[in-house]
Chains A and B, each alone.
Chain A
Amino acid sequence: MSTRLAQGGRLIDRSKAMEFTFNGKRMTGYAGDTLAAALLGAGQTLVGRSFKYHRPRGILASGSEEPNALVHLGEGARFEPDQRVTTTELFDGLTCTSQNHWPSLEFDVGAINNKFSRFLTAGFYYKTFMFPRVAWEKLFEPIVRQSAGLGQVPKERDADRYEHFYAHVDVLVVGGGVAGLAAARSAASTGAKVLLIEQTNHWGGRAVVDGGEIDGMPVEGWVNKAVEELENMANVTIRTRIMGAGVYDHGYATGYERVADHTPGDGRPRHRLWRIRAKQIVTATGAIERPLSFAGNDIPGVMLAGALRDYIVNWGVSAGDRVVVVTNNDDAYRTALAVKAAGLNVPMILDARAEAGGPLADAAREAGIRVEAGKGIAKVHGGKKVTGVSVCAQAGEGASLEEIKCDAVAMSGGWSPVVHLWSHCGGKLIWDVEQAHFRPDPDRAPTSHDGAAFVVTAGSATGALSLADVMADAHAAGKVAGKAAGGKTSSKAAPEVAPETMQPIEPVWVMPQGAGPDKRMKMWLDFQNDVKVSDVQLAAREGYESVEHTKRYTTLGMANDQGKLSNINGLAILSDALSQEIPATGTTTFRPPYNPISFGAIAGEARGELFQPVRQTPMHAWHAEAGAYFEPVGHWYRPYCYPKSGETHEQAVNREVLNTRENLGLLDASTLGKLVVKGPDAGKFLDMMYTNMMSNLAVGKCRYGLMCSENGFLSDDGVVARIDEDTWLCHTTSGGADRIHAWMEDWLQCEWWDWNVYVANVTEQLAQVAVVGPNARKVLEKLNDQAGGGMDLSAEALPFMQWRDGKIGNFDARAYRISFSGELSYEIAVPASQGRAFWDALLDAGGEFGVMPYGTECLHIMRAEKGFIMIGDETDGTVIPQDLGLNWAISKKKEDFMGKRAQSRSHMTDPDRWKLVGLETLDGSVIPDGAYAVGEGVNANGQKNVIGRVTSTYYSPTLKKGIAMGLVKHGPDRMGEVIGFPTVDGSNTVVKAKIVSPVFYDPEGEKQNV
């Protein structure tokens, strides 16, 4: 049984006990523990169940590669599933529960799958559940879904907040082990600006556990000195609890900082996502130990040898009292020695290699440990915990030579460099035969925009496994990166480490070599997803030969650890099954993030009201106080209508329409796009942008303009005013301002860069109010009368489609005589700072004239009554101006403009194109939004033939009936004809409508031109 040792544990503070619960059971750990260490210390070796067979699962690793020990952490608004106990820092009051079992961890009904595992092999579900057809949908899939998944789902909204942080550095060093520290030191010595990040809360990594000396001092002492040195350097920033999550193109990297996971509710953001731009990235990410594949290697109590050692040295926790060590390399001997040094028993070291020699084996023998060469484990005994092992010859078929009682097994299949960050952005790997692992190929590094490498590996991540090699490699890597990032040549000496003698690894992919099918069905590769050696062999047999096919067919490496422990073992098995070399098999793709990162951290502060930027007009507060119902338009909020108490939105809109037509309405039109286009070539430029001629517009006058895409489709419209000889002001739609601005810049910067034109988006600099209705002039003249403004607003001085600058009342105003409603109308722009005061003044002065503000829906109805098109309603990216009867706005004189050539293509000039008409229902009802008019018969695909569709449809309070605009085949030639629009409301009815002129109101334009 696992337990807390009486002594030891370099990371824990035994004076600070911490209480926590696991499945409701109260337990105690110490400050500095991970949850994994605390659980083991409390004797809890069974911590979860596997994905498919619900096999008992214990803690396998000590770091982020842990595939088994995932728990529900926290409660309520701080509940989260799938949390690795190995990366969770213990805090007082922590609560956690185990996952994926019912009714309890100890007794799990789902474990019945284990009994049928013989049939539930890789990909079995592709071969069954097909009959009868409906059974998959109604029966099998619901069962599969319920039994899949791991953790439970959070029920409440997250109580925590998250933030983003930006860093720009010369060299980013990922990993704070001795390699990262050495690389940061040498990179900093070139003068480069260095950021060093470490995912755990402590420095030094594995080397401190492994022992040895650097620069003549114990590793821990060297680490402390190096950290102190780096902390005192002005050009270096070092931070713990930040994981290097991903490497992207051009030196972009993400860091995942777990700021307050260990101090929940302290007010700090829980996570901070670092978005880092680095000229060079050094990955000092270490190596991960591989499991060995022997029967029963998944039983709780079987642990990676390095992890077992970590728990003893770092946290004073033993995984068991009698630990059998099984290995194919020297490193695991260190675990045997550590176990022995902790006063515990190592009944045997099983070394699969033919010979077990060298200094470490000698040391083990000297410590009194029995070392057996050429031996392995035939089978682990036990169910929910290890009770013993059967020993066999590695070269044989697994005949048991001896039974040994034990309560833990430490296994080591060798070490694989952590190559994830190297690979994210295209770094390639090579197979190192001697060390039996994939390591980065320095000749095929990820390259940046200039074709130069921007990632360098350091230490074990390079494939260096002895301390001396690690330090030499890391020191050199830091210098290379610093220099490449623009630093100077550094003469800083490398840390000195005495070389050590290690015996070479012998690859062991199956233990024993000749294991039969019954054993291979019990050798786990992917511990969480229950993928075994036999599954990979089955995939190969069935032709899923690509490593990607095998992965996807068996789910190998698709669990939460993304194959950190399983991939290399799995592809070695696959290579063997296919009788090919491991490099020919290759690896699956390494994708970000290195370990999962929270969605909260990725979203950052962008939540709730600030989910997207908010744009408000200067009059916004007034609208809100007036109880406006807002609608989002781009990032703007616009009043849709201003309902009075007891009024529905519809009633409010109708009131606003009638009042504007009869008295006076005010529209906050500030969101309207306003682009100043200026320069000697501005006229020429606008002639290209618009279908109309703009260069000949007289100063002081306005013209309604259309803009099309290169494909000829109408994309925006608005009134253009000529301000002076080389200045135009172009109004765009509210939603189109930024898009059209970018569109203009695109042409100016990429195509006509030699034209002298500047475009400025002044949308937010100006507040604009549409003063609309028969009393529009009166209210403005009253302002002038009250405050002595000088602008002459008479029909003679300011005729329709002209503009003037001047004073209206106390306000600096530009008044446009334009109308989108058909009424007498002035659109008046004032500086944004005067917007609210101007609005208030108009309301004040307008009292006697029946003033009322109106919203966007009223605007829509009035323009539809008048037959004016709306971008986004009458247009949808497939409509050309000619479809809308706007030929008058298309210049015939101009040689070219955007869309001209496109509009001459055969389909664009097809007489069968649908054209704009008005539609009036026979019974006065409103045609449903989006309805289509049907013709005769069906097309070649069996779809009903359609002859038109509604584009805008409203109840007109002015005309007291439904009105609509639509596009209809040969529409303008069919005035008076009745066409049918089937409904989809389930009533099976067809709305009949007569084709009429789209101008329903004041067709002569008498009202607006007074």
Chain B
Amino acid sequence: MRRYSAFAIAREGARYHTGWERAWRSPKPKKKYDVVIVGAGGHGLATAFYLGKNFGITNVAIIEKGWLGGGNTGRNTTIIRSNYLQDPSAAIYEKARSLYETMSQDLNYNVMFSPRGVMMLAQTHHEVRGYQRTAHANALQGVSTEFISPQRVKELVPIMDINGPRYPVLGALWQPRGGTARHDAVAWGYARACSDMGMDIIQKCEVTGVNQAGGKVTGVQTTLGEIGCDKLAIVVAGNSGDLAGKAGFRLPMESVALQALVSEPIKPTIDVVVMANTVHGYMSQSDKGELVIGGGTDGFNNYTQRGSFHHVEETVRALVETFPIISRLRMMRQWGGIVDVTGDRSPVISKTPLGNTFINAGWGTGGFKSIPGSGWAMAELVAKGEPGPLAAEFGLDRFREGRFIDESVAAGVAH
């Protein structure tokens, strides 16, 4: 792989950029691989990358029914944070966040990780107590966060109205090294690195069936023919239930649409990521100038990769109230992605009822921020056949045992 650098750009500029190599190869599938990963999104590609990097396993195919990075990796609001409450979540999200810090250098691909800080507003007394609890938990988990005052919030985000008549800002949980990254670049950077290690990324190749013998997977049937494997990794957010069905087992998951939208591009006006859970909305500004906005999931199951308008309404309403100056700006584009969610809103990195098949799914709304940590943990599971400490708590068996990792922590509200 020829390295990217300013010198390379200068060299190519002199010859009309005719010398750039392909970022990744586009090979025909081989008959058989050591590992077949279904799904060339961020999680699947990261799994492949760490299989190669940490375990030296490179006879790997990553097969993708559409275009690589085309699912939720290319549809999210690019937020990276690890200020989670429960220990297992904080561990894997912080691992991911720390890997994002050096990802551009590790991949020689600028993914534009931008630790501009993430704040989660507390707008009820109940929320204040909740985030104070998270701050305490984070301190013991090695995640750097603090609970900050409304005045500090205002200093960090001058365009925010902290004295709104309905939900004045009472403080915020602040993670200064949280931030954003360029989502597509994460997929492309991993793809380039995986291809360089000799792995095959096979796009426009849909899995139509799973071949089994004696309780084990022997390969997959695809639109490009049969592909054999010793181990199978299913990493297909949104379609996990569907593919698990083809492999003959069921998952405790539902697929729902998660929407996002952007404004027209404007000059920089908000430097940090703001999440306001009481009013249901979050916002940051991309390097290109668009305000990037998201909210909650739609309240019904769906595979369409689009969403309802009423959710957009709720989200925009919340943000106009929080940031009054955006009222005259305009929504340029709205879109949706399909996330799969579990009963406890935490992911699954797990063995499956099929001996040599593993699944990584159920990231719900937390998928992008976890990509490198998820890939790291999934690679270990696939390579060793048993989960390491990062994945240990995220097994499917937890639903049978009642060992939930509930991050919603919102079943109750104050009297």
**A interface residues (Cβ-Cβ under 8 A, vs B):** 51, 78-82, 118-119, 121, 124-131, 133, 136-137, 141, 144-146, 148-158, 160, 162, 246, 248-249, 252, 254, 275, 424-426, 517-518, 521, 534, 538, 541-546, 548-549, 552-553, 555, 558-560, 562, 589, 591-593, 596-600, 602-604, 606-609, 611-612, 631-634, 640, 672, 709, 711-716, 733-736, 856, 859-860, 870-873, 875-878, 902, 905-908, 928-932, 934, 939-944, 946, 949, 982, 984
- A871-B415, A908-B402, A929-B129 given; name 14 further pairs at CB < 8 Å: A127-B9, A150-B264, A162-B327, A541-B22, A542-B21, A543-B23, A543-B25, A546-B66, A602-B317, A712-B402, A733-B412, A907-B402, A944-B141, A946-B87
Any chain A CB within 8 A of the CB of B355?
no
Determine if A735 and B415 form an interchain contact, defined as CB atoms under 8 angstroms apart.
yes
Q: How far, in Å, is A313 (CB) from chain B's closest CB?
A: 29
Complexed CA–CA distance, A127 and B188 (Å): 12
Instruction: Report, nearest first, the 7 A-B pairs whose CB atoms are least far apart.
Output: A149-B289, A930-B133, A877-B411, A735-B413, A596-B330, A872-B412, A940-B389
Any chain A CB within 8 A of the CB of B296?
no
Interface string of B381-412 (1 = CB under 8 A from A): 00000000110100000101111101011111
Determine if A984 and B136 form an interchain contact, defined as CB atoms under 8 angstroms apart.
yes
Q: How far, in Å, is B287 (CB) from chain A's closest CB?
A: 5
Q: Which residues of A contact B333 (CB under 8 A)?
A: 562, 591-593
Q: Point out the residue from A127, A589, A712 that lies within 8 Å of B110, measured CB to CB.
A: A127
Any chain A CB within 8 A of the CB of B239?
no
Interface positions of B from 128 to 173, Cβ below 8 Å from A: 128-137, 139-142, 146-147, 159, 164-167
Q: Assuming the A-B contacts A542-B23, A600-B320, A603-B320, are A859 and B264 also in contact, with contact meaning beta carbons closer than 8 angstroms in the complex?
A: no
Q: Which residues of A contact B104 (CB under 8 A)?
A: 130, 133, 136
Which candidate, B48-56, B219-227, B302-310, B360-368, is the interface stretch facing chain A? B302-310
Q: Point out the residue from A249, A254, A534, A612 that lies within 8 Å of B17, measured CB to CB.
A: A534
Q: Which residues of A contact B23 (CB under 8 A)?
A: 542-544
Determine if A877 and B406 form an interchain contact, defined as CB atoms under 8 angstroms apart.
yes
Complexed CA–CA distance, A157 and B326 (Å): 8
Interface positions of B from 259 to 295, Cβ below 8 Å from A: 263-269, 279, 285, 287-289
Q: How far, in Å, is B322 (CB) from chain A's closest CB?
A: 10
Q: Which residues of A contact B328 (CB under 8 A)?
A: 78-80, 154, 158, 160, 598-600
Interface string of B86-109 (1 = CB under 8 A from A): 011011000000000110110011
Complexed CA–CA distance, A136 and B411 (Å): 41
Any chain A CB within 8 A of the CB of B313?
yes
14 intermolecular pairs with C-beta atoms under 8 Å apart: A127-B5, A131-B5, A151-B264, A541-B22, A542-B23, A546-B66, A592-B309, A597-B331, A734-B415, A870-B415, A907-B398, A907-B401, A930-B129, A984-B136
Determine if A943 and B142 form an interchain contact, defined as CB atoms under 8 angstroms apart.
yes
Q: Which residues of B contact A543 (CB under 8 A)?
A: 22-26
Q: Assuming the A-B contacts A146-B268, A596-B264, are A604 and B136 also in contact, with contact meaning beta carbons closer than 8 angstroms in the complex?
A: no
Q: Which residues of B contact A608 (CB under 8 A)?
A: 164-166, 321
Any chain A CB within 8 A of the CB of B248?
no
Query: Which A residue sits closest to B128, measured CB to CB?
Result: A929
Q: Which residues of A contact B249 (CB under 8 A)?
A: none
Q: Assuming the A-B contacts A130-B108, A141-B114, A607-B320, are A878 and B406 also in contact, with contact meaning beta carbons closer than 8 angstroms in the complex?
A: yes
Q: Which residues of A contact B24 (CB under 8 A)?
A: 543
Determine if B402 and A153 form an interchain contact, defined as CB atoms under 8 angstroms apart.
no
Determine if B266 and A941 form an interchain contact, defined as CB atoms under 8 angstroms apart.
no
Determine if B110 and A942 form an interchain contact, defined as CB atoms under 8 angstroms apart.
no
Q: Which residues of A contact B129 (CB under 8 A)?
A: 873, 929-930
Complexed CA–CA distance, A119 and B9 (Å): 6
Q: Assuming the A-B contacts A119-B13, A907-B401, are A541 and B20 also in contact, with contact meaning beta carbons closer than 8 angstroms in the complex?
A: yes
Q: Which residues of B contact A160 (CB under 8 A)?
A: 327-328
> B13, B147, B265, B325 — which one has the most chain A CB atoms within 10 A of its CB?
B265
Any chain A CB within 8 A of the CB of B196?
no
Q: How far, in Å, is A598 (CB) from chain B's closest CB?
A: 5
Complexed CA–CA distance, A608 and B166 (Å): 7
Determine if B266 and A81 form an interchain contact, defined as CB atoms under 8 angstroms apart.
yes
Q: Assuming the A-B contacts A136-B104, A152-B267, A604-B317, are A126 and B109 also in contact, with contact meaning beta carbons closer than 8 angstroms in the complex?
A: yes
Any chain A CB within 8 A of the CB of B347?
no
Q: How far, in Å, is A84 (CB) from chain B's closest CB?
A: 10
Complexed CA–CA distance, A162 and B10 (Å): 51
The size class of the interface chain B forms with chain A is 35 or more
Determine if B320 and A599 form an interchain contact, defined as CB atoms under 8 angstroms apart.
yes
Query: Which B residue sits closest to A880, measured CB to CB?
Result: B402
Determine if A607 and B409 form an interchain contact, defined as CB atoms under 8 angstroms apart.
no
Q: Point out the residue from B16, B68, B132, B325 that lies within 8 Å of A534, measured CB to CB.
A: B16
Query: Which B residue sits closest to A592, measured CB to CB?
Result: B334
Complexed CA–CA distance, A249 and B300 (Å): 13
Determine if B331 and A984 form an interchain contact, defined as CB atoms under 8 angstroms apart.
no
Any chain A CB within 8 A of the CB of B209?
no
Interface string of B109-128 (1 = CB under 8 A from A): 11011110000000111101
Complexed CA–CA distance, A622 and B85 (Å): 40
Complexed CA–CA distance, A117 and B126 (Å): 53
Complexed CA–CA distance, A877 and B411 (Å): 5
Interface string of B328-361 (1 = CB under 8 A from A): 1111111100000001000000000000000000
Q: Which residues of A contact B409 (CB under 8 A)?
A: 876-878
Interface positions of B from 5 to 41, Cβ below 8 Å from A: 5-6, 8-10, 13, 16-18, 20-26
Query: Which A residue sits closest to B101, measured CB to CB?
Result: A133
Determine if A733 and B320 form an interchain contact, defined as CB atoms under 8 angstroms apart.
no
Determine if A932 and B112 form an interchain contact, defined as CB atoms under 8 angstroms apart.
no
Q: Point out the residue from A128, A542, A599, A870 that lies within 8 Å of B330, measured CB to CB.
A: A599
Determine if A149 and B266 form an interchain contact, defined as CB atoms under 8 angstroms apart.
yes
> A127, A146, A596, A859 — which one has the most chain B CB atoms within 10 A of its CB?
A127
Q: Point out the residue from B8, B124, B312 that lies within 8 Å of A632, measured CB to CB.
A: B124
Any chain A CB within 8 A of the CB of B184?
yes
Query: Which A residue sits closest to B302, measured CB to CB?
Result: A249
Q: Point out the residue from B113, B123, B134 that lies within 8 Å of A930, measured CB to CB.
A: B134
Q: How far, in Å, is A358 (CB) from chain B's closest CB?
A: 39
Q: Point out the residue from B6, B139, B267 that lies within 8 Å of A153, measured CB to CB.
A: B267
Q: Assuming the A-B contacts A81-B264, A599-B316, A905-B402, are A633 and B22 also in contact, with contact meaning beta carbons closer than 8 angstroms in the complex?
A: no
Q: Assuming the A-B contacts A82-B330, A130-B108, A907-B403, are A538 and B17 also in contact, with contact meaning beta carbons closer than 8 angstroms in the complex?
A: yes
Complexed CA–CA distance, A715 and B308 (Å): 29
Q: Point out the residue from A156, A606, A607 that lies within 8 Å of B325, measured CB to CB.
A: A156
Q: How far, in Å, is B250 (CB) from chain A's closest CB?
A: 17
Complexed CA–CA distance, A426 and B333 (Å): 16
Any chain A CB within 8 A of the CB of B203?
yes
Determine if B110 and A130 form an interchain contact, defined as CB atoms under 8 angstroms apart.
yes
Complexed CA–CA distance, A92 and B331 (Å): 28
Q: Assuming the A-B contacts A426-B304, A543-B26, A871-B415, are A145 and B137 also in contact, with contact meaning beta carbons closer than 8 angstroms in the complex?
A: no
Q: Point out the residue from A128, A425, A609, A939 that lies within 8 Å of B9, measured CB to CB.
A: A128
Determine if A148 and B287 form an interchain contact, defined as CB atoms under 8 angstroms apart.
yes
Query: Which B residue sits closest to A593, measured CB to CB?
Result: B331
Complexed CA–CA distance, A608 and B335 (Å): 28
Q: How far, in Å, is A355 (CB) from chain B's closest CB?
A: 34
Complexed CA–CA distance, A457 and B185 (Å): 38
Q: Assuming the A-B contacts A126-B4, A128-B5, A128-B110, are A943 and B413 also in contact, with contact meaning beta carbons closer than 8 angstroms in the complex?
A: no
Q: Which residues of A contact B304 (CB under 8 A)?
A: 249, 426
Query: Which A residue sits closest to B4, measured CB to CB?
Result: A127
Any chain A CB within 8 A of the CB of B235?
no
Q: How far, in Å, is B301 (CB) from chain A's closest CB?
A: 13
Q: Which residues of A contact B309 (CB under 8 A)?
A: 246, 248, 252, 254, 275, 592
Any chain A CB within 8 A of the CB of B213?
no
Any chain A CB within 8 A of the CB of B61?
no
Determine if B334 and A591 form an interchain contact, defined as CB atoms under 8 angstroms apart.
yes
Q: Which residues of A contact B68 (CB under 8 A)?
A: 549
Q: Which residues of A contact B166 (CB under 8 A)?
A: 608-609, 611-612, 632
Complexed CA–CA distance, A153 and B389 (Å): 47
Determine if A249 and B266 form an interchain contact, defined as CB atoms under 8 angstroms apart.
no
Query: Which A residue sits closest to B185, measured CB to CB?
Result: A126
Complexed CA–CA distance, A109 and B14 (Å): 24
